[in-house]
Amino acid sequence: MKLANLSIGKRLAAGFGLVGILLLIMIAIGSTMLGRVKASTDEIIGQRMPRIEATQQLLSDVNDIAIALRNQILTDNADDRAAQSRAILAARDAAERTLQYFDRTLDRARGRELLAQIRKENALYVAGQDKLMRTVEAGDLPAARAILTDELRPILARLKGAATALIDYQKTLTTQSAAAADAAYTQSMLLSWSIGTAALLLSALTAWWITASIVTPVRRALEVANTVAAGDLTSTIDVSGQDETGQLLAALRAMNDSLARTVGTVRAGTETIAVAAGEVAAGSQDLSSRTEQQASALEETASSMEELTSTVRQSADNARQANALAQSASGIARQGGAVVGQVVATMDAIRTSAERIGAIINVIDGIAFQT
């Protein structure tokens, strides 16, 4: 499918949809990286620091036991020795709870190895504590000091060394978690900026493309409209798409073609009217000539009518004279032949006048027919 055939709405939806997808990718990557940072932070806060604190507490309990053992040897008061024994047992219980906490939480091989070493040394240390306390209760203080110096002190040193190694191991893991969090943050920032820049460039390109695909045809349609408004119907309108702008250009092309056909029809009609006007002018001139001829014929008719009137008057006079002559015919018998001749002449004149009247009537009929 050609992009030019997509509607403006679909093009806008595609452009914004693409930008939206990039934003979703940014959000997904950011969320993933933030999840990694959170996981590293949770590991530091929820596991590494508590284990370091627990190991430090274990060392504190071991030191408390060492101090209590020394105090048992130094004091001669039975109550003080009993109090030191209770302190030793309390610190021993606290240390055991710490070791049980490590049993539940340590999941790496190195951590379990260090825990096993701590438990081993702690068991030896507990056995030595019991031996020293029994020796003190027996009153053999030199032997108790020997146990403290020769047996318990090396065990305590190894126990502290194992606990310190566990602390160092937890610190190493903490450093690694912090480095992972920092790397995740750096990667997240890099990806966010990269995708953000790509989204910005793509948005600019999409906006340019959509604007060009809309503004260029609209500008062309405006030029065509201005050309048509100026009376120029010779523009060539190319339609390359089926979107709204393409439909607009197609409508303008149809309008331009329709106007061109209409103007052509009007021009042909005008030429026909011009020819008809020429014919009408010629007919008018011919009619004027015919009118002049008819006016001349009417003048001749009027003259003939005057002559006819004179002839009729003359005929009437002749008739009166004939009547008078007829009345006096009996008295003027001698003049009868002459009068009859005169009557015959008069009748000939009447016949001639009648023929002229018939001709006049024919002329009048011709004029009436032409009119």
pLDDT at 69: 94
Q: Position of tokens 């596991």?
A: 47
Each residue of 75-89: pLDDT tens digit?
A: 889 899 999 999 999
Three-state SS string across 315-358, please?
HHHHHHHHHHHHHCCCCCHHHHHHHHHHHHHHHHHHHHHHHHHH
Q: How far is CA 122 from CA 128, 202, 230, in A?
A: 10, 65, 106
Each residue of 113-169: pLDDT tens digit?
A: 999 999 999 999 999 999 999 999 998 999 999 999 999 999 999 999 999 999 999
Cα(289)–Cα(129) distance, rounded to whole angstroms? 160
C-alpha dihedral over 133, 135, 139, 143, to 10 degrees? -120
- For the chain, what percent of residues have pLDDT higher than 70? 74
Cα(189)–Cα(50) distance, rounded to whole angstroms? 30
- Nearest one of 104, 105, 94, 103 to 173, comparing CA atoms: 105
Question: Angle at CA 345, nearest 5°, toward 342 and 350?
Answer: 125
Residue 91 banded pLDDT, cuts 50, 70, 90: very high
Chain mean pLDDT for the chain: 79
3-state helix, strand, coil in the chain (%, to 5): 90, 0, 10
Each residue of 263-318: pLDDT tens digit?
A: 678 677 777 766 765 775 676 576 566 656 765 654 665 575 566 556 546 755 66
Q: Position of tokens 């702008």?
A: 245
Cα(33)–Cα(28) distance, rounded to whole angstroms? 9
pLDDT at 2: 60
Lowest mean pLDDT among 1-10, 152-161, 176-185, 224-233: 1-10
Decide if 66 contacts 91 (C-beta within 8 A). no
- Nearest one of 309, 105, 279 to 317, comparing CA atoms: 309
Cα(227)–Cα(232) distance, rounded to whole angstroms? 5
pLDDT at 59: 94
Radius of gyration (Cα) for the chain, nearest Å?
71
pLDDT at 257: 73
Each residue of 66-77: pLDDT tens digit?
A: 999 999 999 889
- Between the ranges 41-45, 247-251, 257-261, where is the mean pLDDT highest? 41-45
Decide if 353 contacts 308 (C-beta within 8 A). yes
Residue 56 banded pLDDT, cuts 50, 70, 90: very high
Average pLDDT over residues 36-48: 78
- Work out the number of other CB atoms within 10 angstroms of the CB of residue 81: 19
32-54 burial code (b ≥16 CB/10 A, e <16): ebeebbeebeebbeebbeebbeb
Cα(130)–Cα(99) distance, rounded to whole angstroms? 19
Residue 5 banded pLDDT, cuts 50, 70, 90: low
Residue 220 or 53, more confident: 53
Question: Angle at CA 271, nearest 5°, toward 266 and 277?
Answer: 120
- How much is the pTM? 0.51
Average pLDDT over residues 243-262: 71
Largest CA distance in the chain: 231
Cα(124)–Cα(159) distance, rounded to whole angstroms? 9
Tokens of 56: 């430090």
Cα(174)–Cα(47) distance, rounded to whole angstroms? 9
pLDDT at 209: 82
Decide if 195 contacts 29 (C-beta within 8 A). yes
Decide if 62 contacts 129 (C-beta within 8 A). no
